[in-house]
Amino acid sequence: MNIVLLTGGQGGLKLFEGLRELIDPETITVVVNTADNIWLLDLYIAPDVDSATYLACGLLDTGRYWGIINDTFNTYSMIRRFNVLDWFVLGDRDLAIHIVRTHMLRQGFRLTEITRYISNVLKAKGVILPMSDEHVETHIYTDLGDLHIQEYLVKYAAKQNPEKVKVFKIEYRGIGEAKAPPEVLNAITNADIIVIGPSNPFLSINPILSTRGVRECIRKKREAGVPIVAVSPIRNGRAFTGVAHVLLKYLGYEPTAYSIAEMYSDIISDIVIDSSDE
């Protein structure tokens, strides 16, 4: 059985981790959000792609669900002394991945090819695919101004204090030019089941579904009778992890599993919800 999982960071990756315990990881293809990618210090950083890759390789720090387990932070500590970057933590081994990725991008390789190369070198079990090779950035319009998603989630600590920053609108810059690479469309076409992970619907899943070709391909699979299963990130009005419930309220939705089902209604056949939300 071939499974395709659509995911962003923590919430969806926990499902990925669980699936790996239940079935052969080699049968799982993970299509990962790239709209949280960012250029920092002239390096191209892909947080969700890296986290999924590290998990597939047994390297993910599952205490935080980002970064490499037992990494050191000597380079970051030195950088901070120069007041160049003091809000985005980069581990030493993690930094090596960003250097390799940036070097290969400048040589003309696609992000999909680079991700496959990194996965192969690190001996990943399963396939990790970025949603697009084109650069997309999620920007969040807030009472603090226009923020890149990493500024919103990390710099202004929205993860820890989700009520702290009021959100008015979310924009996926570059999404009009972004198309799904053939590897993604082939994986979806050949899938026996497609799972939409319990990642943030606005910050993780919608960028994937908005990438040219993805939603249409999934819709055709549903019409062909293939199960398309969403897993709700909401329980009792709150997100399992992250700020999904806060964004739902700010953007005019009730923070419920029903809202999640409504958002994906044109493509899903089923939704998994917590028993408390029945």
Q: Do the beta carbons of residue 53 and residue 128 sit within 8 Å? A: yes
- Tell me the three state secondary structure of residue 145: strand
| CB-CB contact of 214 with 188 (8 Å) | yes
What is the share, in percent, of the chain residues with pLDDT greater than 70?
99
On the CB side of 166, CA atoms within 13 Å amount to: 3
Please check the confidence at residue 239 and state whether its pLDDT lies above 80: yes
Q: What is the pTM of this model?
A: 0.96
pLDDT tens, 96-148? 999 999 999 999 999 999 999 999 999 999 999 999 999 999 999 999 999 99
Among 188, 138, 155, which Cα is nearest to 8's?
138
For 33-81, the pLDDT digits (tens) are 999 999 999 999 999 999 999 999 999 999 999 999 999 999 999 999 9
Give the DSSP letter of residue 191.
Answer: -
Q: In what order do the strands lie in the sheet with 167-173?
A: 145-148, 137-142, 167-173
The residues, any chain, with a CB within 8 Å of residue 28's CB and separated by 6 or more, are 3, 4, 5, 16, 19, 20, 126, 127
Q: What is the pLDDT of residue 277?
A: 74
Where do the domains of the chain lie, and which CATH numbers do they carry? 3-277 (3.40.50.10680)
For residue 250, give Cα distances in angstroms to 43, 167, 218, 228: 33, 6, 28, 28
